[in-house]
Structure 1
Amino acid sequence: MDVLRYAAFTTHPAGGNPAGVVLDASGMDATEMAAVASRVGYSETAFVEPLGQGRLNVRYFSPETEVPFCGHATIATAVAHAGVHGPGDLTFRTKAGIVPVSTTVAGDGSVVATLVSVQPRTELITEAQLGDLLKVLGWSASDLDPALPPMVAYAGAWHPVIATAEESRLADLHYDMADLATLMDRHGWVTINMIRRESDTVFHSRNAFAPGGVVEDPACGAGAAALGAYLRELGLIDLPAALTVRSGHHMGRPSTISVTVPECRESGISVTGTAVPIMHTPTEK
């Protein structure tokens, strides 16, 4: 069984968010997938069951849990698949639903992948939930940007979105893993999407992923899609919108995610990026 390793949302193996990819996981059960993901140690490893005609069953495992959808591992899987089968249109069947994915070859020869999320949703975060979250993160209410009110957003997985206007606040990420994991498990949150708005269309993001056994995702495609849904729902961007989400530089793994937000609230959010191999022929024994 070959476990490919790709860095997504970057053009350099030392940047982006690493993902494991198993292009043919036919016959593997959840226990085996979880064990492989734990050995690989990345925030996500994607396991593919080919169904033919560009249709793929895909499951996503972190070192400690399975998640319904993962954006960066989807981009990595699509690029890896294109490397073997050529670019084109794919249909990912995930636990979150159907996710169309397309790959094209750019002028420099890199493979670019675009996914379209399942139908997004948003919900209010309660005062108690927000208070508990801020306490675990070590934030105070005064750290929040009043122009970007806290909310929980979904585009395949649930992510609280909390914003600050201060780079120093975003740069200072310290929290108790067990406490945050317990809180997130209680509410079904996959990552905490902490953001800062640089301009009308550029955002900086950090994503804590305590339930997966990972302090932080260097780049979270699912979180970026949820951010697009959040901004659309609250009328905080002009539509249609082309956004840039920058993340990972606090971890030394700079990442760039392109997000397209259509006008229709029922339409999925598009997330685009490339991915590059971290190792040429990695193999899990």
Structure 2
Amino acid sequence: MQQIAKELKGFVNEVGYLAQVNDFEFDLRYYSSEREVDFCGHATIAIMYDLIQTNKFLAEVPTLKINTNRGSLTVYNQTKSEDAVFIMSPVPEHKKILIDSAELEKQLKLTLGEVDTQRPISVINAGLTTLIVPIVSLEAIIKIKPDMEELKRFCVKSQIDIIEVYTAETRNKTNDYRTRVFAPTFGYLEDPATGSGNSAFGYYLIENDWWTEGLLTIEQNGLIDNYNVVKLQMQKDESNGIRVCFGGNAVTRIEGKYYIYK
């Protein structure tokens, strides 16, 4: 699995591996070119959306179960109503890691004051250990151009997997937030669409009472107009706890067969 992920570096950020357990249950594992990834949201959306769209039996099933390194999760089939699948994110873990805003501005190549000090900087794991950083404006978030190796050293030193920056200023005023996600420890600089990072962001918003109901729509990436869209919704789990679900659909870019020779 690791070798295949290395061979596909530059074509995809992560490779997802799927094994069917029974009619409604699947095991999932993920690898980047560098290492195994505990959980990968955008790969999960792509895999489950494609699976449902190409399987007439699964297309009629309202929920499926997936088993990952971060626990067993529910997949909600909303392809008929929303043209999307929604994945329940792992139980969040809040981590106490203190990081100075000036250090973040240095790492992200921002100028003084472009990290929004009126909002908290937090570390939450909802699949991956995510550093969440508020940015003052859309202009500031778009211009972020960190050095990959410098940022990788910073992430390793700080014991974080990814950095998610966000601002409430959006290109499309009907959307709620713009985010960008940097993942140098996985062998690439930026992730253009992220389920685990945006789920951590959803828990961050809930914790601060900035999201109490409804569907959240997030623009993601560093392209001012050609952004990806990730949607978040709240769902109660079996213990009656509030969980963030992330959703979207997928487009097939490459289709073929992979041959393994021994």
Task: Report how far residue 131 of structure 1 moved.
Answer: 4.8
Aligned to 2:250, what secondary structure does the other structure show?
strand
1:92 to 66, 69, 81: 66
Output one character per residue of 1:157-203: Cα deviation in whole Å (capped at 9) or x when no partner: 11111111222211112222122112222333222101111379700
Task: Report how far residue 274 of structure 1 moved.
Answer: 0.7
1:146 to 1:212, Cα distance in 2 relative to 1, 3 A:
same
> Between the two proteins, what is the percent identity of the paired residues?
22
Which structure 2 residue ranges, 5 or more long, are not aligned? none
Alignment of 1:222 with 2:196, yes or no, is yes
Aligned to 2:167, what secondary structure does the other structure show?
strand
Q: CA RMSD in A?
A: 2.5
Distance in 1 (CA, whole Å) between partners of 2:97 and 2:236 is 24
1:144 to 1:136, Cα distance in 2 relative to 1, 3 A:
closer
Which structure 1 residue ranges, 5 or more long, are not aligned? 1-32
1:258 to 231, 235, 241: 231
What is aligned with 2:91? Answer: 119
Alignment of 1:272 with 2:242, yes or no, is no
Output one character per residue of 1:108-155: Cα deviation in whole Å (capped at 9) or x when no partner: xx8521101121233343145x55443222235511223432111221
- Aligned residue identity for 1:247: Q
Q: Is the 8 A contact 1:69 1:222 kept in 2?
A: yes
1:117 to 1:167, Cα distance in 2 relative to 1, 3 A:
same
Which stretch shows the higher mean deviation, 228-237 or 138-147?
138-147
TM-score by length of 1: 0.78
Distance in 2 (CA, whole Å) between partners of 1:253 and 1:45 is 24
Task: Report how far residue 50 of structure 1 moved.
Answer: 1.5
Which stretch shows the higher mean deviation, 180-189 or 201-210?
180-189
Q: Is the 8 A contact 1:201 1:242 kept in 2?
A: no
Task: Report how far residue 62 of structure 1 moved.
Answer: 1.2
2:39 to 64, 69, 90: 69
Task: Report how far residue 45 of structure 1 moved.
Answer: 1.2
Q: Is the 8 A contact 1:119 1:266 kept in 2?
A: no
Alignment of 1:158 with 2:129, yes or no, is yes
Aligned to 1:276, what secondary structure does the other structure show?
coil
2:142 to 138, 160, 171: 171
Aligned to 1:156, what secondary structure does the other structure show?
coil
Which stretch shows the higher mean deviation, 57-66 or 118-127?
118-127
- Bigger strand fraction: 1
Instruction: Work out which structure has the larger RCO, using CA pairs closer than 8 Å and 6 or more positions apart in sequence.
Output: 1
Distance in 2 (CA, whole Å) between partners of 1:269 and 1:105 is 18
What is aligned with 1:191? Answer: 162
Distance in 2 (CA, whole Å) between partners of 1:54 and 1:82 is 11
1:188 to 1:125, Cα distance in 2 relative to 1, 3 A:
closer
- Structure 1 stretches of at least 4 aligned residues deviating more than 4 Å after TM superposition: 262-265
TM-score by length of 2: 0.85
What is aligned with 1:248? Answer: 221
What is aligned with 2:108? Answer: 137
Q: Is the 8 A contact 1:260 1:271 kept in 2?
A: yes
What is aligned with 2:7? Answer: 39
